[in-house]
Amino acid sequence: MADEANPAGSLKPLIRMRAYVYITANKPHGVLYTGLTSELKYRITSHKTKKYENAFSARYNVDKLVYYETFNSIITAQAREKQIKAGSRAKKIMLIESMNPEWKDLYDTL
């Protein structure tokens, strides 16, 4: 099956595609959003500009990048996103604080 991102329809390019799993927040220990993208800076910009005004991230002002992981496989990234989403809020907070104890917006470091 072919699509715009993968015109030949092969899974190999998608498997090797760089991907990011990220967590955004509206403030320290506030509302959290976990997402997956292949273009992290673009995606966080979309959150910050509220590109999709009816989306969860726009409604709750969840636009501060507080955690992310980089993967060389979209398949691995999807599995990690599911793992993080299935975890408790406390586990997400521990994950964020392991990388970013001050809950700084990491957007400018991209």
Q: What DSSP designation does 77 have?
A: H
Match 């521990």 to its residue by tokens: 94
Q: How does pLDDT run across 53-102, given as a tens digit for each residue?
A: 999 999 999 999 999 999 999 999 999 999 999 999 999 999 999 999 99
- Architecture category of domain 12-101 in CATH: 3-Layer(aba) Sandwich (3.40)
pLDDT at 20 over 50: yes
Q: Specify whether the CB–CB gap between 21 and 36 falls below 8 A.
A: yes
What pLDDT does residue 16 have? 72
Compare 2 and 71 and report the one with higher pLDDT. Answer: 71
Predicted model pTM: 0.85
Domain ranges of the chain: 12-101
The helix or strand, by DSSP H or E, that contains position 35, with its residue range, turns out to be strand 32-37
